[in-house]
Amino acid sequence: MRAIWKGAVSFGLVSIAVRLYSATDEKDIRFHQVHREDGGRIKYKRVCSIDGDEVSYDDIAKGYDLGGGEMVILTDEDFAELPLTTSRAIEVLEFVPAEQVDPILYNKAYYLEPDQTAAKPYALLRDALTNTERVAIVKVALRQREQLATLRVRDNVLVLNTMLWPDEVRAAKFDILDEDVTARPAELAMAGSLIESMAADFNPLSYTDNYREALQEVIDAKVAGREVVQPEETEEAPAAAVDLMAALRASVERARAARGEEPAEATKATKTTKAAKAAVEKEEAAEPTPIKKTAKKAAAKKATPAKKTTAAKKSA
């Protein structure tokens, strides 16, 4: 790996010289735009929209659009005067519990490698973060921009996770959620049963990018001159659920079948299903059908006045 940044982690009076490496590598298959007839690469020219002349990199500046056709031009000198106090330092601001950092703030991950002379303080910070179960909130300047980030431990290595600033996260506002939409107890119990039937320990290696693999096969087939065969659809799109409880029950059974479990097997999911069924029966008893209401009325007619009074008192 090639280091993309060199500097130091600074917390208190301790300074740790480190190198920064990108911790992730996107595996997307990338394409070039080409001429369909002969495969020639499509090139783009930097052309000024006013005079139509091609512009060299040396004559390009950054412009901030004010709207209405007005533009503020900023040069390299303008950016050089900006106060980036953390230009060569990862400044620790505070240490917080890891669970308090909302994952939506995380952006990109980097590994930190210590210099030979900084191995001991590096290990000190790493072990201290592990023992206290906290992460460091830091500021760092990367690519001419000051960023908020966290320092945490992964596989015995310090990892820097750059973060979005709070005002970069959009607020979730959906009018439909302002309505009083609630699930029935029976539905919640059945949903819990479905979750238990699909419960597992997370193993990222068990998941694959099926689209990328299929696309690579198409490319390999083109290279080898083979005929590209369109794979057949193996699964039909699920139909829209009409009865929520029925859909939940079917989902539980499907999840069990996928795991090779018998319907009557005494698992935790089965116990939850029984609880869900009990909740359904309880809910049905609380909301009697017209037949049950008719039967109650018939029984009430046969009952004596004294019994009616007693029943009325009990219901009161």
Residues 252 and 293 in one domain: yes
Residues 20 and 92 in one domain: yes
Tokens at residue 212, please?
């990328």
Residues 145 and 191 in one domain: no
Q: Is 63 left (phi over 0), alpha (psi -120 to 50) or beta?
A: beta
Full pLDDT tens readout for the chain, 316 residues: 788 888 889 887 888 999 988 888 777 888 888 888 888 888 888 999 889 899 998 888 889 998 888 889 888 788 777 766 556 789 899 999 999 999 999 999 999 999 988 999 999 999 999 999 999 999 998 877 888 999 999 999 999 999 999 899 998 888 888 788 888 888 888 888 888 888 888 887 888 878 888 888 888 887 888 665 565 665 555 555 457 677 777 777 877 787 777 664 445 555 555 666 666 566 666 655 444 444 444 444 444 444 444 444 444 4
Q: What is the distance of C-alpha 36 from the center of its chain?
A: 38
Residues 143 and 18 in one domain: yes
Residues 154 and 18 in one domain: yes
Residues 102 and 193 in one domain: no
What residue spans of the chain are helical by DSSP H?
76-80, 119-132, 185-197, 210-224, 244-258, 268-286, 290-302, 305-315
> Is 289 within a domain?
yes
Domain boundary, last residue among 144, 168, 192: 168
> Is 104 within a domain?
yes
Map residue 166 onto helix, strand or coil.
Answer: helix
> Is 269 within a domain?
yes
CATH code, domain carrying 21: 2.40.290.10
For residue 306, what pLDDT is reported?
46
For residue 128, what pLDDT is reported?
93
> Is 213 within a domain?
no
Into how many domains does the chain fold?
A: 2
Q: Is 41 left (phi over 0), alpha (psi -120 to 50) or beta?
A: beta
DSSP conformation class of 205: G
Residues 95 and 162 in one domain: yes
**pTM for the model:** 0.62
For residue 156, what pLDDT is reported?
94
Q: What are phi and psi of 7, to 5 degrees?
A: -175, -145
Residues 87 and 146 in one domain: yes
Residue type, 179: E
> Is 248 within a domain?
yes
Residues 95 and 195 in one domain: no
Residues 141 and 14 in one domain: yes
> Is 40 within a domain?
no
Residues 153 and 21 in one domain: yes
Q: Quote the domain boundaries for residue 268.
A: 181-201+241-299
Residues 128 and 91 in one domain: yes
> Is 224 within a domain?
no
**CA-based torsion, 290, 291, 294, 295: positive or negative:** negative
> Is 309 within a domain?
no
For residue 264, what pLDDT is reported?
44
Tokens at residue 1, please?
């790996």
